[in-house]
């Protein structure tokens, strides 16, 4: 059992201590369930023989961008540095599902929404059925949700360090347990060349920001995605805020290149911050 705390749960524990409670129901999986824990004078006692001093709980409560795993009397921040990409990956709490920060940049929309609702908007736009390709695993939310309606999902992750974060995220566990999801490690730009023509009914292309992965917005990559789609297949391409200056520019360029790659009926999906294209 993975025990994870963020500032939301730490503050709830401090509030319970302030009210002189001896037992508090708190989430140890970032909001998925509630578990009773014992509040002692000097520490909080959790399941799995884990415990934390009140000083450590206060430190976690002060960190609004961190999530912590608990083991024994220790709490470790879920954060890893990758020598492959020279980036730092960490799990960042929200009021719902956590997001992942890559060098400080959140990988989901969190303003006015949360990562889970953000994912559902992408899924509604993509309408996953049949065999689905997810070009950027991240925390696996897209693959997990797509697998609920698809026959099978193949998901590609560039950096194994990102999967270290996902392994410790309670919201990501289905990514590693589902028989309907196949994980591929490597650069999507290269890995897509290994699949057969027409292998996928749907493609969900949710790349990092253009500044982090410009090659995943290139014409050559779009041509590969077109090749991989079956007849009447659908591509959902996440772009970013269409109302921002950079979002408008990237959207216009992506529309043009998708059309050059052969896609027809390229249309905006504003609620999902992306584009829909058909083959």
pTM: predicted TM-score of the whole model, two decimal places: 0.93
What is the Cα–Cα distance from 224 to 93, expressed in whole angstroms?
A: 35
> pLDDT class for 74, splitting at 50, 70, 90?
very high
- Whether the pLDDT of residue 211 is over 90: the answer is no
Same domain membership, residue 114 and residue 66: no
- The pLDDT > 90 percentage for the chain reads 88
Are the C-beta atoms of residues 175 and 143 closer than 8 Å to each other?
A: yes
Q: What is the pLDDT of residue 249?
A: 84
Angle between helices 54-61 and 7-18 (to 10 degrees): 130
Helix (H, G, I), strand (E, B) or coil at 253: helix
Q: Pick from 200, 214, 205, 271: which is nearest to 237 by CA?
A: 205
Q: List the CATH number of the domain containing 228.
A: 3.40.50.150
Same domain membership, residue 171 and residue 248: yes
pLDDT digits (tens, 9 = 90+) for 215-233: 999 999 999 999 999 999 9
Containing H/E element for 166?
helix 160-167
- Calculate the average pLDDT of the chain: 95
User: Dihedrals φ, ψ of 235, to 5°?
Assistant: -110, 130
- Whether the pLDDT of residue 245 is over 80: the answer is no
Number of domains in the chain: 2
User: Dihedrals φ, ψ of 225, to 5°?
Assistant: -65, -40
Same domain membership, residue 118 and residue 73: no
User: Dihedrals φ, ψ of 86, to 5°?
Assistant: 60, 40
> pLDDT class for 195, splitting at 50, 70, 90?
very high
User: Over the Cα atoms of the chain, what is R_g?
Assistant: 21
In a domain, 92, yes or no: no
Domain range spanning residue 54?
A: 4-77
Are the C-beta atoms of residues 225 and 219 closer than 8 Å to each other?
A: no
Torsion on CA atoms 38, 40, 44, 50, rounded to nearest 10: -80
In a domain, 97, yes or no: no
- Whether the pLDDT of residue 247 is over 80: the answer is no
Q: Decide the pairing of beta strands 23-26 and 35-39.
A: antiparallel
Q: Which residue has the tokens 């430190």?
A: 59
């Amino acid at each position: 059992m993975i025990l994870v705390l963020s500032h939301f749960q730490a503050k709830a524990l401090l509030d319970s201590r302030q009210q002189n409670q001896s037992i508090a129901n708190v989430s140890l999986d970032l909001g998925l369930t509630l578990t009773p824990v014992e509040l002692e004078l000097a520490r909080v006692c959790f399941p799995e023989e884990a415990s934390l001093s009140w000083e450590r709980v206060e430190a976690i409560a002060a960190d609004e961008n961190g999530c912590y795993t608990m083991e024994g009397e220790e709490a470790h921040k879920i954060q890893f540095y990758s020598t492959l990409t020279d980036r730092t990956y960490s799990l960042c709490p929200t009021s719902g599902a956590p997001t992942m920060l890559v060098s400080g940049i959140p990988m989901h929309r969190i303003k006015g929404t949360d990562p889970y609702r953000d994912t559902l908007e992408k899924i509604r736009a993509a309408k996953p059925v049949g065999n689905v390709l997810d070009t950027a695993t991240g925390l696996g939310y897209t693959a997990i949700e797509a697998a609920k309606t698809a026959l099978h999902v193949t998901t590609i992750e560039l950096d194994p360090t990102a999967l270290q974060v996902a392994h410790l995220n309670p919201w990501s566990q289905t990514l590693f347990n589902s028989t309907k999801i196949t994980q591929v490690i490597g650069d999507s730009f290269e890995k897509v060349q290994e699949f057969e023509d027409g292998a996928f009914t749907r493609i969900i292309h949710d790349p990092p920001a253009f500044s982090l992965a410009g090659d995943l917005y290139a014409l050559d990559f779009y041509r590969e995605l077109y090749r991989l789609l079956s007849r009447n297949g659908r591509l959902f391409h996440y772009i970013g805020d269409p109302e921002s200056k950079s979002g408008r520019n990237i959207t216009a360029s992506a529309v043009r290149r998708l059309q050059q790659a052969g896609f027809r009926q390229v249309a905006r999906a504003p609620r999902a911050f992306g584009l829909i294209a058909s083959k």
